[in-house]
Chains A and B, each alone.
Chain A
Amino acid sequence: GENVEQHPSTLSVQEGDSAVIKCTYSDSASNYFPWYKQELGKRPQLIIDIRSNVGEKKDQRIAVTLNKTAKHFSLHITETQPEDSAVYFCAANHGNQFYFGTGTSLTVIP
């Protein structure tokens, strides 16, 4: 089955700096890679996703890159703000099976 690894587990950045979270996956058949943001006590919210037929996608301050050959994908947050503080999860999808990373706790220091 698929194995998704996520790094780092915790990340602290100064407000205004960039944050990068990386995930690797093992199943080359995985073709959809969503990222979720979970604030304390709340549900995971889909913030951006990328499909296997593209290498990069951007939505305002958030971008995701995918390297299919190396089987890794990354979340980039630029100009971080305190409200970006949350736990971020990556996932890999093949068919109807979703496999989640273990999460990255991001703290943005004002």
Chain B
Amino acid sequence: NAGVMQNPRHLVRRRGQEARLRCSPMKGHSHVYWYRQLPEEGLKFMVYLQKENIIDESGMPKERFSAEFPKEGPSILRIQQVVRGDSAAYFCASSPGDSSYNEQFFGPGTRLTVL
């Protein structure tokens, strides 16, 4: 049973370009979370999605950032017109979502560097 997959593992973009980060949840998991982690800091919640629905995007900047989790395919975190401050590790996590206790498992992360 493959774990949470993320790609790319490393992404380099120049200021003003777009970054697309992909996350495939564990098999059987229908809930996806995205977190941002700056060096030597904690995990900051960004957005929580179920298939075709954004449940909570309270942690996501209002501009330039968007997320989706289509019926088919991976969840996508999209950052438009990247700036140097977007450089960070972006982790996604998935959970089954079918019980009152939901273990959350993390992917390996995408390390975004903005030049």
Answer whether A89 and B109 are a contact pair too, CB < 8 Å, given A46-B103, A96-B55, A96-B97: no
Main secondary structure, interface of B, reads strand
Asked if B105 and A46 sit within 8 Å, CB to CB, the answer is yes
Which A residues form the contact surface with B (CB < 8 A)? 31-32, 34, 36, 42-46, 49, 51, 89, 91, 93, 95-103
Which B residues form the contact surface with A (CB < 8 A)? 31, 33, 35, 41-43, 45, 48, 55-56, 91, 93, 95, 97, 100-109
A-B contact pairs, 23 of them (CB 8 A): A31-B100, A31-B101, A32-B102, A36-B106, A42-B108, A43-B91, A43-B107, A43-B109, A44-B106, A45-B106, A89-B42, A89-B43, A93-B101, A93-B102, A95-B100, A98-B33, A98-B104, A100-B35, A100-B43, A100-B45, A101-B42, A102-B41, A103-B42
